């Protein structure tokens, strides 16, 4: 089977392409920065030319690009997209209803929304992890460490292994730069107070999102005076709740949680988005997704996940990455967690800041139980959440296997 992949900066492309190839398929890749996800005449012309030169079975992307959908519809070729972000604002475009589209959304709430709109080819599909790739990484890491030990102390070693061991670690964005902070001074005091109350309420709710329902018609009418909605069939409430309040809420949640933890335990932060204002939190800087991040997950005693409120029910990629690396995961509750994991056996979960601190205290002092949970989580994703299983599901649904 011939597959054309449009590749952008999503982390999971390498695993997806490698898995397609290991399944015996031919994969070609096109890369180009788009002027817009919706329209880009030069890219559309280039894609059209490529599709004319070779007989492809389908075009594949992570997330959805309306410009690609339009070209595929013209060419009579299937367009397959698998989401890794939610909600995908790029899907709120008229091209979403084209017959060429085959959607696979990791957030069940988002999937049900578009299915209810009448989108024809759409399925719910969680994200995945390649444990084989990670196993090879750690096997090489073990060999490097052995060689370091064997190297004479007076000689410089050709290998260096960074020490990623830690107690509590978080790898991720703090969203310290967000559009709410840029807009806040433009809002009248009434709106600022209302938004503060909405975000505070959201911070006290686990496994659900109340931000969008709290944006009433009256509030949105006031918002429209300060916030412009670009061309889309999504409504102002969705866009504002996602791009403005959602990211600000995530920033508050993550920073508050880390500060609550560091008051009692050492905490390592791996990020490229600041974090210097979090006193006593050890800012370790950014880590490479492929070579370093898995080592943080494997060698930290506790790995944290905070799911951004924009993801209403689904499980973000970080959950699979931590478990696939053999790390112990402590995550906020998400509605879809019990569908795939046994809480307390495969991973641990918290529903409040107080419970987060309590669970960290418990698992830091229960070594064997923590290690067993990490092992169970690894086995679960290895057996049930591989890219091969996910891509096999996609090929079955589009009728190409």
List, for residues 271-330, the tens digit of each pLDDT value: 987 777 898 999 999 999 999 999 999 999 999 999 999 999 999 999 999 999 999 999
In which element (H, E) is residue 269 found?
strand 267-270
Phi-psi region of 10 (alpha: psi -120 to 50; beta: other; left: phi over 0): beta
Q: Which of 277, 285, 243 is nearest to 259 (CA)?
A: 277
d(CA 95, CA 54): 24
The number of angstroms, rounded, from the C-alpha of 250 to the middle of its chain's C-alpha atoms is 13
List, for residues 151-207, the tens digit of each pLDDT value: 544 444 433 335 688 899 999 999 999 999 999 999 999 999 999 999 999 999 988
Q: 3-class DSSP state for residue 3? A: strand
Residue 205, CA distances (Å) to 210, 211, 339, 367 in order: 8, 11, 20, 30
d(CA 282, CA 289): 19
| Dihedral angle over CA of 161, 165, 170, 173, nearest 10 | -20
Residues 6+ apart with CB under 8 A from 359: 330, 348, 350
- Average pLDDT of the chain is 92
d(CA 237, CA 217): 9
76 token code pair: 């009579």
Strand-by-strand arrangement of the 282-283 sheet: 282-283, 267-270, 166-171, 300-305, 329-332, 348-350
Cβ(359)–Cβ(350) below 8 Å = yes
Instruction: Give Rg (Cα) of the chain.
Output: 22
Q: Which of 26, 34, 36 is nearest to 5 (CA)?
A: 26
pLDDT at 401: 43
- Extract the residue ranges of the chain whose pLDDT is less than 70: 143-163, 230-234, 400-401
d(CA 107, CA 83): 8
Based on the number of CB atoms within 10 Å of its own CB, is 324 exposed (0-12), middle (13-18) or buried (19 or more)? buried
**Token pair 């791009």 in the structure block, residue:** 243
Which residues partner with 170 through β-bridges? 269
pLDDT at 349: 98
What one-character-per-residue DSSP string does 52-96 give? HHS--SEEEEES--HHHHHHHHHHT-EEEEE-SSSS-GGGSSGGG
Q: 3-class DSSP state for residue 302? A: strand
pLDDT at 207: 83
Q: Angle of helix 66-75 relative to helix 41-53, nearest 10 degrees?
A: 40
Cβ(98)–Cβ(69) below 8 Å = yes
Which residues partner with 102 through β-bridges? 80
Task: Please state the three-class secondary structure of 353-383 as a single string.
Answer: HHHHHHHHHHHHCCHHHHHHHHHHHHHHHHH
CA angle centred on 26, ends 23 and 27, rounded to 5°: 105
pLDDT at 208: 86
pLDDT at 233: 54
d(CA 72, CA 272): 37
Pairing of strands 166-171, 122-124: unpaired
């Amino acid at each position: 089977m011939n597959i054309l992949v449009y590749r952008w900066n999503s982390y999971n492309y390498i695993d997806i392409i490698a898995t397609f190839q290991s399944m015996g398929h031919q994969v070609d890749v096109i890369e180009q920065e788009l002027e817009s996800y919706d329209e880009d005449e030069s890219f559309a012309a280039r894609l059209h030319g490529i599709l004319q030169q070779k007989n492809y079975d389908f075009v594949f992307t992570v997330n959805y690009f309306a410009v690609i959908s339009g070209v595929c519809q013209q060419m009579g070729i299937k367009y397959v997209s698998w989401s890794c972000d939610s909600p995908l604002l790029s899907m709120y475009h008229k091209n979403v209803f084209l017959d060429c589209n085959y959607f696979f959304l990791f957030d069940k709430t988002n999937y049900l929304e578009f299915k209810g709109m009448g989108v024809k080819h759409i399925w719910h599909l969680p994200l995945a992890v390649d444990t084989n790739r990670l196993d090879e990484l750690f096997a090489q890491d073990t060999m490097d460490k052995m060689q370091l030990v064997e190297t004479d102390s007076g000689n410089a070693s050709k290998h260096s292994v960074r020490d990623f061991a830690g107690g509590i670690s978080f790898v991720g964005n703090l969203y310290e730069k967000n559009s709410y902070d840029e807009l806040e001074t433009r809002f009248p005091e009434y709106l600022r107070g209302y938004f503060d109350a909405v975000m505070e309420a959201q911070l006290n709710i686990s496994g659900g999102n109340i931000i969008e329902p709290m944006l009433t018609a009256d509030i949105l009418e006031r918002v429209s005076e300060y916030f412009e909605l670009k061309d889309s069939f999504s409504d102002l409430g969705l866009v504002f709740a996602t791009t403005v309040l959602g990211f600000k809420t995530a920033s508050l949640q993550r920073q508050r949680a880390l500060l609550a933890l560091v008051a009692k335990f050492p905490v390592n932060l791996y990020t490229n988005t600041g974090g210097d204002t979090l006193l006593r939190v050890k800012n370790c800087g950014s880590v490479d997704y492929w070579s370093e991040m898995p080592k943080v997950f494997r060698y930290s005693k506790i790995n944290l996940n905070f799911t951004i409120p924009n993801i209403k029910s689904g499980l973000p990629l970080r959950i699979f990455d931590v478990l696939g690396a053999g790390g112990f995961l402590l995550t906020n509750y998400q509605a879809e967690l019990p569908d795939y994991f046994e809480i307390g056996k495969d991973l641990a979960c918290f529903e409040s800041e107080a419970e987060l601190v309590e669970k960290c205290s418990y698992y830091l002092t229960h070594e064997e139980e923590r290690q067993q949970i990490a092992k169970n989580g690894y086995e679960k994703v290895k057996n049930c959440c591989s890219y091969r299983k996910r891509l096999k599901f996609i090929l079955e649904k589009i009728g190409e296997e």
